[in-house]
Amino acid sequence: MASLRDIKNRINSTKKTRQITKAMQMVSAAKLNRAQEKAQSYEVYASKMREVVNNMAAAGSDVSHPMLEERPVKKTGYIFISSDTGLAGGYNSSLLRDMMKTIQSRHSSTDEYAIIVLGKIGRDLLRTRNQPIIQEMIEIPDQPGFSDIKGLAKTSVEMFADGVFDELYVWYNHFVSAMTQTVTEQKLLPLGSTGEQQGSSVGLYEYEPSEKEILEAVLPRYAESLIYGALLDAKASEFGARMTAMSAASDNASSLIDDLTLSYNRARQAAITQEITEIVGGAAALE
């Protein structure tokens, strides 16, 4: 049986751990609020971009672009958005499990796909599985700007345009609430239909110099914006998952402290009872 000192040390140690998890919970909650605001603000821009691209794609039947057209798939690209740090519950593990399950069902060889990974945790997990990583990015800011991932996004889109792979998907955790994140696969390229067409919006724009030339400039930027939007969504999910995990850890620490305190009080009472018994026994022996 543990001594009183051992139990007391465990109580003090658990209290210190609870202080850390509570602090991390509060920090994650603050970061989550900022990430949500940033994702919601960016959605306004992404929605307008989607509307313009939809309009151009639907306005004229003679308007086409390689990024809008399906082609025979020889190789597939996957963008995997993970976190740089842990302590976020099943945020990374569930995402990796679902993506690997999908990849194994689609491909029979690593020659048939390549992975672009964001986040140190995802990179390390994929390396241990000997996955074909062709590009990586770690130490992503908590509140990333487009300039932070512009190079990776541009390179990813250019690899599709150059035929390195014939389709591109992004895997990330979609933010539903602080307690709920949904593993999501989104097809980025070819773009195809970018959303439901609003009949009233077709024909509302006049393009100069031409729709084709504008598509040439806009479509790569639009594809890059989809990657950035997925990253913002994933960041909100990461902070929500970490806040929930730290809240659960704090609750578990409180429960453990209660149990240890009860054990400490029982052991202390037993020790006091034993001392009293010994004193009474000694006094009786002297009579």
Q: 151-194, pLDDT tens digit by residue?
A: 999 999 999 988 899 999 999 999 999 889 999 999 998 886 54
More confident site: 11 or 196: 11
In contact, 259 and 51? CB cutoff 8 Å: no
Kindly state whether residue 238 falls inside one of the protein's structural domains: yes
Identity of residue 134: I
Kindly state whether residue 136 falls inside one of the protein's structural domains: yes
CATH number of the domain enclosing 196: 3.40.1380.10
In contact, 24 and 190? CB cutoff 8 Å: no
Q: What is the pLDDT of residue 71?
A: 87
Strand partners, 234: none
Q: What is the pLDDT of residue 57?
A: 65
User: Which residue segment(s) compose the domain that 178 sits in?
Assistant: 25-244
Q: What is the pLDDT of residue 68?
A: 79
Cβ neighbours of residue 81 closer than 8 Å, sequence gap 6 or more: 118, 119, 122, 170, 171, 172, 173, 230, 231, 234
Beta strands in 155-225 (DSSP E): 167-177, 180-189
pLDDT at 36 over 60: yes
Kindly state whether residue 281 falls inside one of the protein's structural domains: no
Kindly state whether residue 6 falls inside one of the protein's structural domains: no
Band of pLDDT at residue 59, cut at 50, 70 and 90: low
Other CB atoms within a 10 A radius of the CB of residue 247 amount to 18
Strand partners, 81: 118
Q: How far apart are CA 235 and CA 240, in angstroms?
A: 9
Band of pLDDT at residue 198, cut at 50, 70 and 90: very low
Number of independent structural domains in the chain: 1
pLDDT at 53 over 80: no
In contact, 232 and 35? CB cutoff 8 Å: yes
Mean model confidence pLDDT for the chain? 87
In contact, 115 and 204? CB cutoff 8 Å: no
Q: How far apart are CA 249 and CA 243, in angstroms?
A: 10
**In this predicted model, what pLDDT tens digit does every residue of 229-287 receive, in sequence order?**
999 999 999 999 999 999 999 999 999 999 999 999 988 888 888 888 878 777 777 76
